[in-house]
Structure 1
Amino acid sequence: MFGREEIDEVKSMVEDERSEVVELTSKLVRFETVVPPGETGECVQFVKSYFDDLGVETAIYERKPKKANLRAKIEGGAGETIIWLGHLDVVPAGSLENWSHDPFKGEVVGGRVYGRGTTDMKGSCASAMVAAKVLASIMERTEVKESLPTVEFWFTCDEEIGAVDGTRWLASEGLFKGEVCVIGDSFGSLPTDPWVDVGCKGYIRVLLRARGKTAHGGVPFLGENAIERLSEAVKHVKEVGNYPLDLPEDVEPIAESSTEFLLRFPGLTEAQREAAKKVFWYPTVSLNIIRGGVKVNVVPDEAEAVFDIRITPGHPVWKVEQVIRGLVEGSGVEVEVAGTREGFYERLDSRAVRSMMDAVEAALGAKPHPKILTGTTDGVHVERISKIPCVGFGAGVRGVAHAPDEYVTVENLVMAAKVYAVFPFIWARNT
């Protein structure tokens, strides 16, 4: 079985591709795969040509024209399959006045590659391409190929808008088949301080609807103000943020580690630090949409509020819904659940988590920490539909995704490539 000598060789091979991973990131950024419309066809052709030159088997899958997904497959002989999953679509750049660097040039300045999608997540895609190059080369040796699993690298569309034509569709078509999935859409790691995603939160989207009676604004007592009625109910829903979650014992250490991750965000005020300490132990409640009123001199007869409420995995979402309905009961406001999703987590002693934690430490020489994502990735579709355990690691930089002057560091690109290339060796060892 593989030892330190093989791992060191893989790491050295990745180091030799340092300039290539930077160049690939820049080239990927130049494809404006912005959603909407999220057309990834040309970008996928570029990635395909890279693998074609390496002699790696590829296949393109499209549910709609120009919304392309790519699979690159490196065949192993161990009878198992590892999936690496990333997305090529990016969010809009916003006002160019807020950018110091062209968002679609991929400029390299001071050890950073700038541009929309560098952190989320074309940088990690470039790291995966280099890792695949290293694996394809080393697996030309028969004794290595026979001992390693097959590795499939998937580059998808539509992650930023629900993955309807991307991962969700691919999973529904039964195209993901494997023992573990590595999600490249991950941020917050440094070569000396790495973090592994072992799950993500669930959510419940709650809509409150208040009804009233119109009247002239000069005689409001003749009407019934729906906005005022709604405002009282909003206060009740926000109280769910003080409802302690009942977490399983095996989730508690992950919640503690995840809390520490949040507390390391730079520049937090004392109030923000106190809020961060509650994120994984209580539901987070965010009032994100308010609708109501038709004219400044008319008492409103209808008003709505929409909440995004996130719940740490291990605590059933339906229990939080029960609490919300109990809090709002008697307020005269309608409660509608606009959507729910249970979160997921992998146990720390699972093969998936053990292998990723070991791979990170072997690749970087630093002990990683587990964390739960406060948002979601395409991993939810792989877990829910394909029933494949997911763990995450990536090159993404903390706090810059979707922001002006988004960037990824060269060191993080190399870091992620090393982890992706080492992971199959560790997986094969951790049977």
Structure 2
Amino acid sequence: MSERSAPDPDHSTELEELARDLVRIPTENPPGDEGAAAEFVSDWFREAGIDATLLEEPDPNRPQVGARVGEGGPTVVLNGHLDVVPAGAPEAWTADPYAGVVEDGRLYGRGSADMKTGVALAMLVARDLAPEIRAGELSGSVVVHAAMGEETADPGTRTLLERGFDGDYGIVLEPTDFRVATSTKGLSVYRIAVEGVATHASQPDAGTNAIDETRPLLDAIDEYDAELREREGSLCGGAFATVTEIEAGTGSNLAVIPDRAELVLDRRVLPGEDPEEVDAEVEALLDRVRAERGVETTWTRIQTYASSSIPVDHPLATSLRDRSVAAVGPDGGVGEPWGIEAATDARNFVNDAEVPAVTWGPGDLDQAHTVDESIDLADAAIAREVLEDVVRSLIE
């Protein structure tokens, strides 16, 4: 990418310290330990003189934060989530995943890219615009979400929107390397059970090995995935069907042929696709395997992230895209219409609250959920200036 403008040094230091403080608070989900981070964010806002609510919905054991500056309109909502995926074995990391190490201009740690730096950006921009809003120089207002449960499709953001922390525009501050995503891909996750007949492993022909019964199902899923890849894609790319987990024979004697196997199917859903229509495709796939190979199955959809989309030329997207190009240059697709392959809480804005929203932020999505996750702090500082300018232009 072309050379990027130099951020304000004082702003850079302040952002680094706040993002580092957030990374140092473990908030792994599962199980969902957002509480300490939510209290930190709430206290920070109160010390800054900003009204903040520690919301105990949808889960009283997992509070989240909604904050508001101003009462007028239009209102821009800056959305971030507090939860992070588990870091895994600490020894796999170069440094403690919750130490918040800064080295060579990068902040390392679980959540540094996905997305505690984004939460820090939202907090600082709201605070910095507060004097202009209170003085009446800006007629609109700013809302900040520090949401729970994004990583496991819990209704954190949706609940914040329902409880009045909504607005006219939404910016979900996930790492996109300054690209503006007007579309997000969704997913439907299925648990499929394959039935067999248990018997002693010394007499395997006396039963039906559920593991063997999964073979034609796996072949059918491969065919389904190939067919999906042939369909017309979207700004988010194509649809996929992928098996992410298989379990059979656990918790039993090692000499027993298992009578049940379970697998998890991850089906990526494009904007315009209905989850119920995807359900019907999965049901048809299983019916075909049952009819052709006699494999008995049952299924349940266990997780759903809806896709979302707004027009690529929506004023919110155009403003953020133009300001990003001015700050970092047009390379890397920053100036082009784009959709993000991952699911984000933009879906709650667009689908549930009918609020136009985009996904945008500094950092590389490839860093999310990885060992030695990190973010370039210089890019984060540039993003702070871009975000402040865009929000100001939307609420003036």
Cα distance in 2 for partners of 1:413, 1:219 equals 63
State the shift of 1:21 in Å: 0.6
State the shift of 1:232 in Å: 0.9
Give the aligned partner of residue 33 of structure 1.
Answer: 27
Cα distance in 1 for partners of 2:376, 2:163 equals 35
Is 1:315 the counterpart of 2:309? The answer is no
Cα distance in 2 for partners of 1:357, 1:320 equals 33
Instruction: Output the amino acid matched with 2:301.
Output: A
Q: 1:45 to 1:208 in 2, by over 3 A?
A: closer
CA deviation string 1:158-214 (max 9, x = no partner):
3233334x324334x432331111101x2240xxxx311222222233333332333
Is 1:176 the counterpart of 2:165? The answer is yes
TM-score by length of 2: 0.84
Q: 1:221 to 1:105 in 2, by over 3 A?
A: closer
Q: Is the 8 A contact 1:82 1:150 kept in 2?
A: yes
Q: 1:160 to 1:125 in 2, by over 3 A?
A: same
State the shift of 1:13 in Å: 8.8
Cα distance in 2 for partners of 1:45, 1:303 equals 42
Cα distance in 1 for partners of 2:152, 2:305 equals 16
Give the aligned partner of residue 270 of structure 1.
Answer: none
Query: The residue matched to 1:206 in structure 2 has which SS?
Result: strand
Give the aligned partner of residue 44 of structure 2.
Answer: 50
Cα distance in 1 for partners of 2:37, 2:202 equals 59
Picking from 107, 118, 122, the partner of 2:112 is 118
Q: Is the 8 A contact 2:241 2:265 kept in 1?
A: yes
Q: Is the 8 A contact 1:59 1:72 kept in 2?
A: yes
Give the aligned partner of residue 153 of structure 1.
Answer: 144
Cα distance in 2 for partners of 1:202, 1:39 equals 25
Identify the range of structure 1 (102-111 vs 367-376) with the bigger mean alpha-carbon deviation: 367-376
Q: Is the 8 A contact 1:216 1:299 kept in 2?
A: yes
Give the aligned partner of residue 412 of structure 1.
Answer: 379
Cα distance in 2 for partners of 1:51, 1:216 equals 63
State the shift of 1:374 in Å: 2.7
Give the aligned partner of residue 338 of structure 1.
Answer: 301
Cα distance in 1 for partners of 2:16, 2:145 equals 20
Is 1:360 the counterpart of 2:293? The answer is no
Is 1:350 the counterpart of 2:334? The answer is no
Q: 1:338 to 1:82 in 2, by over 3 A?
A: same
State the shift of 1:391 in Å: 0.5
TM-score by length of 1: 0.78
Picking from 246, 257, 263, the partner of 1:305 is 263
Cα distance in 1 for partners of 2:340, 2:246 equals 26
**Superposition map of 1:229-248 within 5 A:** 229-244=213-228
Cα distance in 1 for partners of 2:241, 2:82 equals 30
Cα distance in 1 for partners of 2:69, 2:151 equals 27
Cα distance in 2 for partners of 1:341, 1:45 equals 27
Query: The residue matched to 1:122 in structure 2 has which SS?
Result: helix
State the shift of 1:245 in Å: 7.0
Picking from 63, 69, 81, the partner of 2:64 is 69
Instruction: Output the amino acid matched with 1:292.
Output: A
Cα distance in 2 for partners of 1:13, 1:56 equals 25
CA deviation string 1:39-69 (max 9, x = no partner):
4444334333433343333232223556332
Cα distance in 1 for partners of 2:23, 2:90 equals 16
Q: 1:141 to 1:317 in 2, by over 3 A?
A: same
Q: 1:417 to 1:302 in 2, by over 3 A?
A: same
**Superposition map of 1:131-280 within 5 A:** 131-139=125-133, 141-142=135-136, 144-146=137-139, 149-164=140-155, 166-171=156-161, 173-184=162-173, 186-189=174-177, 194-244=178-228, 252=234, 254-255=235-236, 280=237
Cα distance in 2 for partners of 1:245, 1:213 equals 35
Q: 1:222 to 1:370 in 2, by over 3 A?
A: same
CA deviation string 1:57-106 (max 9, x = no partner):
323222355633222322264x2111111122223332221222232222
State the shift of 1:239 in Å: 1.0
Instruction: Output the amino acid matched with 2:143.
Output: E
Q: Is the 8 A contact 2:25 2:98 kept in 1?
A: yes
CA deviation string 1:103-162 (max 9, x = no partner):
2222221101122211111111222222223312444554x313xx21111212232333
Identity fraction in percent: 28
Query: The residue matched to 1:70 in structure 2 has which SS?
Result: strand
Cα distance in 2 for partners of 1:228, 1:99 equals 37
Q: 1:224 to 1:62 in 2, by over 3 A?
A: closer
Instruction: Output the amino acid matched with 1:34.
Output: E
Give the aligned partner of residue 389 of structure 2.
Answer: 422
Aligned length: 380
Q: 1:237 to 1:17 in 2, by over 3 A?
A: same
* Structure 1 residue ranges without an equivalent (≥5): 1-10, 256-279
